[in-house]
Amino acid sequence: MTIHFINGFLAINFLGVIVNLLRNSLLLFITIFVYWIVLTTANAQNENRFQQVTLSPSYITINQTEPFSIAMVYSVTTYDNTLLGLGIRIHYNSSCLQFIKAENYSENLFRNIAIQDDDQNTDNDTSTDRFILIAWFEWNSRWPGKQLPYILGKIYFQAIESLKPQKTPIHISFTAHHPGYQVKGISTLIDIK
């Protein structure tokens, strides 16, 4: 902006003021646009970043008298095996299945494995009423530190005796995950004969 005194009057160069306003507005617009692109790209990348646990096999036929196991297979869409950890719940119907034990193959088990009632229906399935709570944590972001996919462990069950033949699901839900990642759980279906 240029200020002149002409015959004792203040004269302002309005063209200079307008050019400066346009230049500053353009810089502000470009800055906002760049931030929008960065945030959109970061959100799009996060949408494709998953920690996933698959219960395997996805379908199993069992006899009532035989114990069986379900593997917890861990993978990450980015193949990064150096994250902070994961917290999961394995949901089951206690009127159909009896929990026997859990085997943990991964290091850095954060707390003891616990069995709890699913009073909050955290897997959105009213047919499951209990869950097994398991969590892993590594302060130095090196979890699980193994080649992916990796078997975190196995859960052992047995069908309740004198149960009529039926199918019952075992679901998975999450209590914690690495920042910037989403989670995905793949359930299994048990066909009791």
pLDDT tens digits, one per residue of 88-106:
999 999 999 999 999 888 8
Question: What is the identity of the amino acid at 4?
Answer: H
- CATH code for the domain in which residue 102 is found: 2.60.40.680
**Domain limits at 31?**
3-47
d(CA 172, CA 170): 7
CA distances from residue 9 to 18, 128, 154 in whole angstroms, order as listed: 21, 85, 88
pLDDT of residue 6: 56
Q: Which two tokens stand for residue 61?
A: 């036929």
**Using one digit for the tens of pLDDT, what is the confidence trace for 130-139?**
999 999 988 8
- What total of structural domains would you count in the chain? 2
pTM here is 0.74
Q: What contacts 155, CB < 8 A, 6 or more positions away?
A: 69, 70, 72, 90, 99, 101, 102, 103, 132, 170
Percent of the chain with pLDDT over 70: 74
d(CA 174, CA 26): 45
- On the 0-12 / 13-18 / 19+ scale of CB atoms within 10 A, 18 is exposed
91 and 155 in a single domain? The answer is: yes
- Judge whether residue 24 has pLDDT over 70: no
117 and 36 in a single domain? The answer is: no
79 and 151 in a single domain? The answer is: yes
The answer to whether the bond into 67 is cis (omega within 30° of 0) is no
Q: Quickly state the pLDDT bin for 26 (edges 50, 70, 90).
A: low
Q: Which of 188, 154, 193, 163 is nearest to 97 (CA)?
A: 163
31 and 122 in a single domain? The answer is: no
